[in-house]
Structure 1
Amino acid sequence: MKIWYQCKAKYAKENDEGMLKQTSELHLVDAVSYTDAESRIYGAMERTVSGEFQIMTIAKTNIGEVINFEDADYWYKCKVQYSTVDGDSEKEVKITTYILTSAENVKQAYERVEQSLDNMLVPFEISSIAKTNIVEVFPQMDDEIPDNLTPLSESQEEFEADEERELVD
Protein backbone atom coordinates (compact mmCIF):
# COMPACT_ATOMS: atom_id res chain seq x y z
CA MET A 1 0.00 0.00 0.00
CA LYS A 2 1.25 3.43 -0.89
CA ILE A 3 1.82 6.05 1.77
CA TRP A 4 0.98 9.61 0.75
CA TYR A 5 2.49 12.63 2.49
CA GLN A 6 1.06 16.13 2.33
CA CYS A 7 3.80 18.77 2.07
CA LYS A 8 3.32 22.50 2.49
CA ALA A 9 5.80 24.65 0.57
CA LYS A 10 6.24 28.41 0.94
CA TYR A 11 7.97 30.58 -1.67
CA ALA A 12 7.82 33.90 -3.49
CA LYS A 13 5.63 33.72 -6.59
CA GLU A 14 5.26 36.39 -9.27
CA ASN A 15 1.69 37.64 -9.64
CA ASP A 16 -0.01 39.17 -12.72
CA GLU A 17 1.45 42.64 -12.05
CA GLY A 18 5.00 41.25 -11.87
CA MET A 19 5.26 41.65 -8.09
CA LEU A 20 6.67 38.89 -5.90
CA LYS A 21 4.19 37.65 -3.31
CA GLN A 22 4.72 34.99 -0.62
CA THR A 23 2.53 31.97 -1.30
CA SER A 24 1.96 28.61 0.35
CA GLU A 25 1.00 25.53 -1.62
CA LEU A 26 0.08 21.97 -0.68
CA HIS A 27 1.63 19.09 -2.59
CA LEU A 28 1.12 15.36 -2.23
CA VAL A 29 4.10 13.00 -2.39
CA ASP A 30 4.19 9.21 -2.52
CA ALA A 31 7.10 8.08 -0.31
CA VAL A 32 8.23 5.27 1.98
CA SER A 33 9.09 7.51 4.96
CA TYR A 34 9.13 11.12 6.15
CA THR A 35 12.77 11.37 5.10
CA ASP A 36 11.97 10.07 1.62
CA ALA A 37 9.00 12.48 1.40
CA GLU A 38 11.25 15.39 2.36
CA SER A 39 13.84 14.39 -0.22
CA ARG A 40 11.24 13.96 -2.96
CA ILE A 41 9.46 17.27 -2.26
CA TYR A 42 12.77 19.17 -2.21
CA GLY A 43 13.68 17.62 -5.58
CA ALA A 44 10.26 18.44 -7.05
CA MET A 45 10.31 22.02 -5.76
CA GLU A 46 13.84 22.61 -7.08
CA ARG A 47 12.58 21.63 -10.54
CA THR A 48 9.45 23.82 -10.42
CA VAL A 49 10.39 26.90 -8.34
CA SER A 50 13.07 29.24 -9.65
CA GLY A 51 13.90 31.01 -6.37
CA GLU A 52 14.18 30.10 -2.73
CA PHE A 53 11.52 28.02 -1.00
CA GLN A 54 10.83 26.46 2.39
CA ILE A 55 9.09 23.22 3.23
CA MET A 56 6.89 24.17 6.16
CA THR A 57 5.20 20.86 7.04
CA ILE A 58 5.18 17.22 6.05
CA ALA A 59 2.30 15.07 7.28
CA LYS A 60 1.14 11.54 6.58
CA THR A 61 -2.33 11.39 5.03
CA ASN A 62 -5.09 8.79 5.09
CA ILE A 63 -5.36 8.72 1.29
CA GLY A 64 -5.32 5.18 -0.04
CA GLU A 65 -5.39 5.80 -3.77
CA VAL A 66 -4.86 8.65 -6.24
CA ILE A 67 -6.69 8.80 -9.55
CA ASN A 68 -5.04 11.34 -11.84
CA PHE A 69 -6.54 12.72 -15.04
CA GLU A 70 -4.45 15.24 -16.95
CA ASP A 71 -7.52 17.24 -18.07
CA ALA A 72 -8.42 18.54 -14.59
CA ASP A 73 -6.93 21.25 -12.38
CA TYR A 74 -8.56 20.52 -9.00
CA TRP A 75 -8.16 17.67 -6.53
CA TYR A 76 -11.09 16.15 -4.66
CA LYS A 77 -10.87 13.87 -1.63
CA CYS A 78 -13.57 11.21 -1.72
CA LYS A 79 -14.63 9.07 1.23
CA VAL A 80 -15.64 5.58 0.11
CA GLN A 81 -17.26 3.04 2.41
CA TYR A 82 -18.03 -0.64 1.87
CA SER A 83 -18.73 -3.69 3.99
CA THR A 84 -16.89 -6.98 4.09
CA VAL A 85 -16.98 -10.10 6.25
CA ASP A 86 -14.12 -10.62 8.71
CA GLY A 87 -12.56 -14.03 8.05
CA ASP A 88 -11.94 -14.85 11.72
CA SER A 89 -15.09 -13.67 13.46
CA GLU A 90 -17.35 -13.84 10.39
CA LYS A 91 -18.89 -10.50 11.36
CA GLU A 92 -19.61 -7.70 8.94
CA VAL A 93 -16.95 -4.99 9.05
CA LYS A 94 -17.35 -1.53 7.57
CA ILE A 95 -14.25 -0.35 5.69
CA THR A 96 -13.56 3.31 4.97
CA THR A 97 -10.99 4.43 2.42
CA TYR A 98 -10.11 7.80 0.93
CA ILE A 99 -9.46 8.38 -2.75
CA LEU A 100 -7.99 11.56 -4.22
CA THR A 101 -9.05 12.30 -7.78
CA SER A 102 -8.48 15.15 -10.18
CA ALA A 103 -11.65 16.65 -11.64
CA GLU A 104 -13.20 19.94 -12.66
CA ASN A 105 -16.20 19.65 -10.32
CA VAL A 106 -17.82 17.44 -7.68
CA LYS A 107 -20.00 15.60 -10.20
CA GLN A 108 -17.00 14.67 -12.33
CA ALA A 109 -15.06 13.56 -9.22
CA TYR A 110 -17.97 11.30 -8.22
CA GLU A 111 -18.16 9.79 -11.72
CA ARG A 112 -14.41 9.18 -11.86
CA VAL A 113 -14.29 7.42 -8.49
CA GLU A 114 -17.39 5.39 -9.35
CA GLN A 115 -15.82 4.38 -12.67
CA SER A 116 -12.55 3.33 -11.02
CA LEU A 117 -14.42 1.18 -8.49
CA ASP A 118 -16.90 -0.42 -10.90
CA ASN A 119 -15.03 -3.75 -10.76
CA MET A 120 -15.52 -4.12 -6.97
CA LEU A 121 -17.52 -7.20 -6.06
CA VAL A 122 -19.10 -5.63 -2.96
CA PRO A 123 -21.43 -2.65 -3.01
CA PHE A 124 -19.82 0.65 -2.01
CA GLU A 125 -20.97 4.13 -1.09
CA ILE A 126 -19.23 7.43 -1.85
CA SER A 127 -20.31 9.21 1.32
CA SER A 128 -18.48 12.52 0.88
CA ILE A 129 -16.48 14.51 -1.64
CA ALA A 130 -14.49 17.61 -0.70
CA LYS A 131 -12.37 19.92 -2.80
CA THR A 132 -8.79 20.14 -1.50
CA ASN A 133 -6.09 22.81 -1.67
CA ILE A 134 -3.58 20.37 -3.17
CA VAL A 135 -1.80 21.94 -6.14
CA GLU A 136 0.21 19.01 -7.45
CA VAL A 137 0.70 15.29 -6.83
CA PHE A 138 4.09 13.61 -7.18
CA PRO A 139 3.61 9.82 -7.39
CA GLN A 140 6.51 7.41 -7.03
CA MET A 141 7.48 6.15 -10.47
CA ASP A 142 7.73 2.36 -10.75
CA ASP A 143 11.28 2.53 -12.07
CA GLU A 144 12.34 5.03 -9.38
CA ILE A 145 14.24 3.34 -6.55
CA PRO A 146 15.43 5.44 -3.60
CA ASP A 147 19.23 5.64 -3.26
CA ASN A 148 19.25 3.77 0.04
CA LEU A 149 17.31 0.75 -1.32
CA THR A 150 18.53 -2.09 -3.54
CA PRO A 151 16.27 -3.95 -5.99
CA LEU A 152 15.24 -7.36 -4.63
CA SER A 153 16.77 -9.17 -7.62
CA GLU A 154 20.21 -7.67 -6.89
CA SER A 155 19.91 -8.42 -3.17
CA GLN A 156 18.97 -12.03 -3.93
CA GLU A 157 21.99 -12.40 -6.25
CA GLU A 158 24.32 -10.99 -3.58
CA PHE A 159 22.80 -13.31 -0.95
CA GLU A 160 23.27 -16.38 -3.18
CA ALA A 161 26.88 -15.38 -3.98
CA ASP A 162 27.63 -15.00 -0.24
CA GLU A 163 26.13 -18.43 0.46
CA GLU A 164 28.28 -20.02 -2.26
CA ARG A 165 31.43 -18.40 -0.82
CA GLU A 166 30.60 -19.74 2.64
CA LEU A 167 30.13 -23.27 1.26
CA VAL A 168 33.50 -23.14 -0.52
CA ASP A 169 35.31 -21.89 2.60
Structure 2
Amino acid sequence: MMRSRTATWFECKIRYEKTMEDGMQKKVTEAYVVDALSFSEAEERIIEEMSSYISGEFNVTDIKKAPYGEIFFSDQEMADRWYKAKLQFITLDEKTEKEKRSNVNYLVQAGSFNGAVKNLEEVMGGTMIDYSIVSVNETTLMDVFEHLAKASKQDDKPEFEG
Protein backbone atom coordinates (compact mmCIF):
# COMPACT_ATOMS: atom_id res chain seq x y z
CA MET A 1 0.00 0.00 0.00
CA MET A 2 1.37 3.42 -0.98
CA ARG A 3 0.95 6.72 0.82
CA SER A 4 1.69 10.10 -0.74
CA ARG A 5 2.89 13.26 1.00
CA THR A 6 3.40 16.69 -0.53
CA ALA A 7 5.65 19.15 1.31
CA THR A 8 8.75 21.28 0.91
CA TRP A 9 11.54 18.72 1.15
CA PHE A 10 15.24 19.33 1.79
CA GLU A 11 18.10 16.92 1.14
CA CYS A 12 20.65 17.13 3.96
CA LYS A 13 24.13 15.59 4.14
CA ILE A 14 25.60 14.55 7.48
CA ARG A 15 29.28 13.71 8.07
CA TYR A 16 30.29 11.67 11.12
CA GLU A 17 32.47 8.84 12.38
CA LYS A 18 30.62 5.58 11.95
CA THR A 19 31.58 2.29 13.57
CA MET A 20 31.87 -0.20 10.73
CA GLU A 21 31.03 -3.93 10.92
CA ASP A 22 34.70 -4.73 11.60
CA GLY A 23 34.69 -2.36 14.60
CA MET A 24 36.83 0.29 12.87
CA GLN A 25 35.81 3.96 12.89
CA LYS A 26 35.35 5.57 9.48
CA LYS A 27 34.26 9.08 8.47
CA VAL A 28 31.15 8.79 6.32
CA THR A 29 28.77 11.22 4.65
CA GLU A 30 25.13 10.16 4.51
CA ALA A 31 22.16 11.85 2.84
CA TYR A 32 18.74 12.25 4.43
CA VAL A 33 15.52 14.10 3.58
CA VAL A 34 13.45 16.28 5.93
CA ASP A 35 10.39 18.41 5.34
CA ALA A 36 10.74 22.00 6.50
CA LEU A 37 9.64 25.52 5.62
CA SER A 38 13.17 26.97 5.37
CA PHE A 39 16.85 26.05 5.22
CA SER A 40 17.31 26.97 8.89
CA GLU A 41 14.37 24.79 9.92
CA ALA A 42 15.75 21.95 7.78
CA GLU A 43 19.10 22.23 9.60
CA GLU A 44 17.35 22.26 12.98
CA ARG A 45 15.23 19.24 12.01
CA ILE A 46 18.12 17.11 10.70
CA ILE A 47 20.21 17.85 13.82
CA GLU A 48 17.25 16.88 16.02
CA GLU A 49 16.61 13.65 14.07
CA MET A 50 20.27 12.61 13.82
CA SER A 51 21.14 13.26 17.48
CA SER A 52 18.99 10.25 18.43
CA TYR A 53 20.93 8.00 15.98
CA ILE A 54 24.50 9.27 16.28
CA SER A 55 26.20 9.24 19.68
CA GLY A 56 29.30 11.24 18.73
CA GLU A 57 29.79 14.52 16.92
CA PHE A 58 28.42 15.11 13.44
CA ASN A 59 28.34 17.97 10.97
CA VAL A 60 25.65 19.08 8.55
CA THR A 61 27.74 19.47 5.38
CA ASP A 62 25.03 20.34 2.84
CA ILE A 63 21.38 21.31 2.67
CA LYS A 64 19.58 21.79 -0.63
CA LYS A 65 15.97 22.07 -1.67
CA ALA A 66 14.84 18.74 -3.09
CA PRO A 67 13.85 18.63 -6.78
CA TYR A 68 10.55 16.93 -5.87
CA GLY A 69 7.53 18.09 -3.91
CA GLU A 70 5.81 14.77 -3.42
CA ILE A 71 7.07 11.52 -1.90
CA PHE A 72 5.43 8.12 -2.25
CA PHE A 73 5.92 6.08 0.93
CA SER A 74 5.58 2.29 0.97
CA ASP A 75 4.46 0.27 3.99
CA GLN A 76 6.32 -2.84 2.76
CA GLU A 77 9.09 -4.04 5.05
CA MET A 78 11.42 -4.73 2.11
CA ALA A 79 11.05 -1.16 0.81
CA ASP A 80 14.36 0.14 2.16
CA ARG A 81 15.56 2.21 -0.81
CA TRP A 82 14.63 5.58 -2.29
CA TYR A 83 14.28 6.20 -6.03
CA LYS A 84 14.05 9.50 -7.88
CA ALA A 85 11.47 9.23 -10.62
CA LYS A 86 10.85 11.62 -13.49
CA LEU A 87 7.41 11.42 -15.08
CA GLN A 88 6.05 13.30 -18.07
CA PHE A 89 2.46 14.42 -17.81
CA ILE A 90 0.81 14.56 -21.22
CA THR A 91 -1.96 17.10 -21.75
CA LEU A 92 -3.74 18.30 -24.86
CA ASP A 93 -3.73 22.04 -25.55
CA GLU A 94 -7.37 22.59 -26.53
CA LYS A 95 -6.65 25.67 -28.68
CA THR A 96 -3.83 24.23 -30.77
CA GLU A 97 -4.82 20.57 -30.30
CA LYS A 98 -1.14 19.79 -29.70
CA GLU A 99 0.25 17.50 -27.05
CA LYS A 100 1.99 19.28 -24.18
CA ARG A 101 4.45 17.43 -21.97
CA SER A 102 5.56 18.61 -18.55
CA ASN A 103 8.15 16.92 -16.35
CA VAL A 104 7.40 16.16 -12.70
CA ASN A 105 9.85 14.61 -10.21
CA TYR A 106 8.93 12.29 -7.34
CA LEU A 107 10.75 10.34 -4.65
CA VAL A 108 9.55 6.74 -4.37
CA GLN A 109 10.21 4.24 -1.60
CA ALA A 110 10.70 0.65 -2.80
CA GLY A 111 12.82 -2.47 -2.32
CA SER A 112 14.00 -2.65 -5.94
CA PHE A 113 13.94 -0.82 -9.28
CA ASN A 114 10.97 -2.93 -10.45
CA GLY A 115 9.24 -2.26 -7.13
CA ALA A 116 9.69 1.49 -7.65
CA VAL A 117 8.11 1.30 -11.12
CA LYS A 118 5.25 -0.83 -9.74
CA ASN A 119 4.69 1.63 -6.88
CA LEU A 120 4.64 4.57 -9.32
CA GLU A 121 2.09 2.77 -11.49
CA GLU A 122 -0.03 1.95 -8.43
CA VAL A 123 -0.18 5.61 -7.38
CA MET A 124 -0.56 7.08 -10.88
CA GLY A 125 -3.12 4.44 -11.88
CA GLY A 126 -5.48 5.99 -9.34
CA THR A 127 -5.39 9.31 -11.21
CA MET A 128 -6.84 10.45 -14.52
CA ILE A 129 -3.44 11.82 -15.62
CA ASP A 130 -1.97 10.63 -18.91
CA TYR A 131 1.72 10.09 -18.15
CA SER A 132 4.89 8.27 -19.13
CA ILE A 133 7.83 7.29 -16.92
CA VAL A 134 10.97 9.03 -18.22
CA SER A 135 13.47 7.73 -15.65
CA VAL A 136 13.79 5.94 -12.31
CA ASN A 137 17.13 6.09 -10.49
CA GLU A 138 18.19 4.69 -7.14
CA THR A 139 19.48 7.37 -4.74
CA THR A 140 21.98 7.23 -1.89
CA LEU A 141 19.37 8.62 0.52
CA MET A 142 19.38 6.77 3.84
CA ASP A 143 15.97 7.87 5.14
CA VAL A 144 13.17 10.45 5.01
CA PHE A 145 12.07 12.19 8.19
CA GLU A 146 8.53 13.54 8.13
CA HIS A 147 7.50 16.41 10.36
CA LEU A 148 4.98 14.98 12.80
CA ALA A 149 2.66 17.29 14.69
CA LYS A 150 3.99 17.90 18.20
CA ALA A 151 1.78 16.48 20.94
CA SER A 152 0.06 19.23 22.87
CA LYS A 153 1.27 19.73 26.43
CA GLN A 154 -1.98 21.14 27.82
CA ASP A 155 -3.41 17.73 28.75
CA ASP A 156 -0.57 16.88 31.16
CA LYS A 157 -2.59 17.70 34.32
CA PRO A 158 -5.30 15.35 35.54
CA GLU A 159 -8.78 16.88 35.28
CA PHE A 160 -9.64 16.17 38.89
CA GLU A 161 -7.34 15.97 41.88
CA GLY A 162 -9.01 14.70 45.08
Q: Match for 1:95: what amino acid?
A: S
More helix by share: 1
Per-residue CA shift, 1:86-106, capped at 9, x if unaligned? 699987542211111111211
Contact 1:64 1:97 in 2 (8 A): no
CA distance in structure 2 between the aligned counterparts of 1:79 and 1:13, rounded to whole angstroms: 33
The answer for unaligned runs of 5 or more in structure 2 is: 1-5, 152-162
Structure 1 residue 116 corresponds to structure 2 residue 147? no
Q: Which has the higher contact order (CA 8 A, sep 6+)?
A: 2
Q: Which residue in 1 is equivalent to 2:135?
A: 128
Residue of 27, 37, 49 corresponding to 1:32: 37
Q: Which residue in 1 is equivalent to 2:147?
A: 140
Residue of 12, 18, 43 corresponding to 2:17: 12
1:50-129 matches, within 5 Å, as: 50-70=55-75, 71=77, 72-84=79-91, 93-129=100-136
Residue of 1, 8, 12 corresponding to 1:3: 8
CA distance in structure 2 between the aligned counterparts of 1:86 and 1:67, rounded to whole angstroms: 29
CA distance in structure 1 between the aligned counterparts of 2:103 and 2:150, rounded to whole angstroms: 30
Cα 1:121–1:54 shift into 2, 3 Å: same
Overall identity of the aligned pairs, in %:
33
Higher CA-based Rg: 1
CA distance in structure 1 between the aligned counterparts of 2:117 and 2:15, rounded to whole angstroms: 31
Q: Match for 1:98: what amino acid?
A: N
Cα 1:89–1:43 shift into 2, 3 Å: farther
More strand by share: 2
Q: Cα RMSD (Å) of the superposition?
A: 2.2
CA distance in structure 1 between the aligned counterparts of 2:95 and 2:47, rounded to whole angstroms: 44
Query: Number of residue pairs matched?
Result: 144
